[in-house]
Amino acid sequence: MPNSISFSCAATLIWCFSSLLLHSYSSSAPYSNETDHLALLAIRSHFHDPIGFTTSLNNSINLGQWTGVTCAHRHQKVTKLDLRKYQSLRGFLSPYVGNLSFLRHINIADNSFHGEIPREIGNLFRLETLMITDNSFSGLMPTNLSRCSNLIAFHANNNKLAGEIPEEIGCLFKLQKLSIRRNLLT
Ligand SMILES: *[C@@H]1O[C@H](CO)[C@@H](O)[C@H](O)[C@H]1NC(C)=O
Ligand SMILES: *[C@@H]1O[C@H](CO)[C@@H](O)[C@H](O)[C@H]1NC(C)=O
Ligand SMILES: *[C@@H]1O[C@H](CO)[C@@H](O)[C@H](O)[C@H]1NC(C)=O
Ligand SMILES: *[C@@H]1O[C@H](CO)[C@@H](O)[C@H](O)[C@H]1NC(C)=O
């Protein structure tokens, strides 16, 4: 019995130590992807943030430390963009968003984004959730959205999207949730 206790303590210690090492390694690695860096800078420059929530967007350190940005640790590729909680952002969603090639989740709900949903979103074949509820996006739903073959949820209630729902959306076989109420769709 005492042997097995000390064995499990040693195992726990080794585990703690290695996670500590892994953690310090990942948080000190500089960002390695200039494409993602440029895309974030472009995205940031297309909206206005009157209350200053995103002023800590920072171009000199780990991309994962930018406000609202989550990165995959090993490659410093952006996997999640979550600007929902800031709630006062006003402007366009930059087409550069389509360059964040590892992006899985976009949540910019409850802001004042307007203009069209950039077609470049269709380049994000890893995208699983796209949440743009309660904004003022207008124009057509981009046909290119149908290229996001891993899309599971698209929430766009309460925008100004117009015209027909593109047939191609029917090709999104993984799509489970589509909410597009309170738009101008026909
Ligand atoms: C950054 O990402 C782009 C596109 O996703 C890729 O082509 C490029 O090789 C990556 N660069 C590095 C240094 O990881
Ligand atoms: C950028 O990051 C560094 C290091 O964390 C910090 O000292 C600096 O204040 C940040 N700049 C802005 C504009 O937030
Ligand atoms: C990223 O996207 C923009 C606009 O969609 C494009 O002009 C630019 O060349 C792209 N590539 C890189 C590597 O930033
Ligand atoms: C839209 O998708 C088509 C292919 O279906 C592609 O050729 C085109 O480049 C895409 N447009 C953008 C802006 O990504």
- The pair phi, psi for residue 16, each rounded to 5°, is -60, -45
Find out whether the beta carbon of 126 lies less than 6 Å from any atom of ligand 4. Answer: no
Pocket of ligand 2 contains residue 61 by CB under 6 Å: yes
Ligand 3 pocket, 91 CB below 6 A?
no
Closest ligand relative to 168 C-alpha: 4
CATH topology of domain 33-185: 3.80.10
Task: From 73, 108, 72, select the one nearest 89 (Cα to Cα).
Answer: 108
List pocket residues of ligand 1, CB cut-off 6 Å: 32-33, 35, 101
pTM of model > 0.85: no
In short, whether 146's Cβ falls inside 6 Å of ligand 4 is no
Q: Is the pLDDT of residue 22 over 60?
A: no
131-140, pLDDT tens digit by residue?
999 999 999 9
98 or 48, greater pLDDT: 98
Strands 160-163 and 136-140: parallel
State whether residue 71 is helix, strand or coil.
strand
**Whether the predicted pLDDT of 167 surpasses 80:** yes
